[in-house]
Amino acid sequence: MSGAGGLAIALGCVFAVNLLPAFGPPTWAVLVYFEVSGDLPVVPLVLGGALAAASGRLVLATSSRRMRGHFSAARIESLAAARAALTGDRRKAAGGLALFAVSPLPSAQLFVAAGLLAVRLLPLTAAFFAGRLVSYSIYVGGATLAADRLGDTFGDVFTSPLGIAVQVAMLAGLVALLRVDWRKYLRNKSTTDPQARPTPLSDEPNEPLDRARSPSGDATARPHDVARADTDHEARAVELTGP
């Protein structure tokens, strides 16, 4: 299996694997398998493999986004609140791109979540493509060494306790994304977070007196300022009456 036909089969398998929402084999292992067994050219295999993987994930995320049409208005608003919390500024947005580019977490559930949250998919897919282009180059470039791990890698998808636990945890995260009322959760968190509470105007007692107006018109005069104004007023009254 070599030549253009073998390359097309390899890229088709990569695309299909990346359509799976969970428990799919690592794409690098699929590429190494075809490189070792079919003696395929490395550069087209790596470039085509990264593009096929990114295309499969994009289709997966787009399909997940279409599920939003079956959600209630309350759930859509909850997902909107979660999206705002996760992508509310440039720092968070950059962190999201890095997550898709270099994260060791299973990317399938990340793309499903991105689709459910209705975030912009093309930047995430581009970051995923760039990251996979580097990792696939390393694996396929060292195909002879990586080939020794293929049997264990494919088997670990279904037999490794750690691999299964990670997949289950990611799926549970998707369920929580849909089931939790993020509007209520984020609102309660903002009211219980000490850093989110407004700073009190004064630590002194008798706050209403703190707002008494001073003779100069200062609306934030303190009690001692009011007492000083009263003393000055009494002094001026003594001067007017005289002995």
- Please answer whether residues 97 and 124 qualify as being in contact, where contact means their C-beta atoms are separated by less than 8 angstroms: yes
137 & 233 share domain: no
Q: Is there a domain that residue 201 lies in?
A: no
- 132 and 182: one domain? yes
Same domain assignment for residues 134 and 17: yes
CB contact at 8 A, 27 and 57: no
Has residue 183 got a pLDDT over 80? yes
Q: Is 21 within a domain? A: yes
Q: Is residue 200 part of a domain?
A: no
Angle between helices 3-17 and 42-66 (to 10 degrees): 30
| Same domain, residue pair 116 and 218 | no
Verify that 107 and 225 share a domain, yes or no.
no
Residue 37: inside a domain: yes
Residue 102 and residue 8: Cα distance in Å, rounded?
26
My answer on whether 177 and 83 are in the same domain is yes
pLDDT beyond 70 at 163: yes
Amino acid letter, residue 131: G
Q: How much is the pLDDT for 202?
A: 39
Q: Collapsing DSSP states into helix, strand and coil, what is residue 106?
A: coil
Mean pLDDT, residues 159-165: 81
156: amino acid identity, one letter: D
Let me know: does 100 contact 201? Beta carbons within 8 Å.
no
Confidence of residue 199 (pLDDT cuts 50, 70, 90): very low
Give me the mean pLDDT over the 105-134 stretch.
94
| Residue 173 shares a structural domain with residue 224 | no
Count structural domains, the chain. Answer: 2
Residues 170 and 190 in one domain: yes
For residue 71, the model assigns a pLDDT of 94
Q: Contact 49/31 with Cβ under 8 angstroms?
A: yes
Of residues 220 and 12, which shows the higher confidence score? Answer: 12
pTM attached to this predicted model: 0.73
Highest mean pLDDT among 50-64, 131-145, 177-191, 221-235: 50-64
**pLDDT surpassing 80 at residue 25:** yes
pLDDT tens digits along 31-75: 988 888 877 888 999 999 999 999 999 999 999 999 999 999 999
**pLDDT at residue 220 above 60?**
no
Domain range enclosing 211: 207-241
98-107, 121-130, 163-172, 193-202: least confidently modelled range: 193-202
Whether the CB-CB separation of 183 and 81 falls below 8 Å is answered with yes
Question: Is the residue at 155 inside a domain?
Answer: yes
Asked if 182 and 211 sit in the same domain, the reply is no
* Domain identity same for 26 and 99: yes
187 is a domain residue: yes
Classify residue 89 by its DSSP letter. S
Higher pLDDT, 105 or 125: 125
Unique residue bearing structure tokens 């209630």? 72
